[in-house]
Amino acid sequence: MTQKPVVFIDGEAGTTGLEIRERLAPLPVTLHSVDHAHRKDPAARKEAMQAADLVVLCLPDDASREAVEMAAELGDAAPRILDASTAFRTAPGWVYGFPELEAGQAEAIAIAPRVANPGCYPTGAIALLRPLVDAGVMDARYPVCINAISGYSGGGRSMIEAHERDGGPAFELYGLKLEHKHVPEIHQHAGLKRRPVFVPSVGHFARGMIVSIPLHLDDLNGNVSGEDLHNILEKRYAGQDHVRVLAAEPKLSAEALAGSDRMELRVHANTQNRQALLTARLDNLGKGASGAALQNIRLMLDLNAA
């Protein structure tokens, strides 16, 4: 592009929208906004979409679906879309916005008209599981169980206000009906043929996340060791700027990567008991949300040299 590309963030007043706007400020883009008094006016939003090269949707699922329909009404003048909601992460015709997913994914994102930004929990889970499934070490029907804890900033404005006002709870399990909206995304993009069990939780800290997946090594293929699993992950993510495969540690703090766009993957193994624990540590608002969005925006607008 010879001129600065125009970006419109629909839903820029929310947590993710505000972070994306702040991160875009130093980049060679023009940010187009709708006057606050008209931010929910369909005509004003449609006009902003028509003026944009890329629309970033930071909206609830139903509102994102309506926005995509609105953009489609523009026909040849329709902008490209990056959606941060859950609405299109498994939808046909949308490219999944996890550049490290597999070879060629970043290139697919760069040219896609519609990209679905990944969820925070799925980013960690898929990063750990997909390489093992692709390598044939983990059968696609392995009974995967995923545990995860996130900072309260991932729960939206009401949860943030409750934690900052009331100071807790210190730890809380949720999604106990085992129908969390991220499960279909993990199921599909991790390459699984059996629905995983996913148990999320939230802690009384603002930012950060750990996703952990316990494994019985004897239930994997090829008599593998923890070192073998580490090597598979290390080979898969070699040369990636945002994903690092590191040595196991005796303790992990979920807050360690707060403010970072990196993700750290580890294999913690007990050789004698033939057990392993896979962990992914990231910032739920970094690589898990606005950081991932910025990574995709850079690809879509060819800004990686900026």
Rounded to the nearest 5°, which phi and psi values hold at 55?
A: -110, 130
Tell which residue, 236, 305, 288, 261, has the closest CA to residue 117: 288
Query: CB–CB of 152/89 below 8 Å?
Result: no
State the CB neighbour count (10 A cutoff) for residue 212: 20
Q: CA-to-CA distance for 115 and 38, rounded, in angstroms? A: 26
* Burial per residue of 63-82, b for 16 or more beta-carbon CB atoms within 10 angstroms, e otherwise: bbbbbbebbeeeeeebbbbb
Q: CA-to-CA distance for 98 and 210, rounded, in angstroms? A: 18
Q: CA-to-CA distance for 192 and 48, rounded, in angstroms? A: 39
Q: CA-to-CA distance for 119 and 212, rounded, in angstroms? A: 16
Write out the two tokens for 296: 């995709």
Q: Which residues make Cβ contacts (< 8 Å) with residue 229, sequence separation at least 6?
A: 132, 137, 215, 267, 269, 276, 278
Q: CA-to-CA distance for 125 and 187, rounded, in angstroms? A: 10
Residue of 120, 144, 289, 301 marked active site? 120
Whether residue 120 lies in the annotated active site: yes
Query: CB–CB of 302/107 below 8 Å?
Result: no
State the CB neighbour count (10 A cutoff) for residue 191: 17
Query: CB–CB of 78/71 below 8 Å?
Result: yes
> Which residues are identified as catalytic?
120
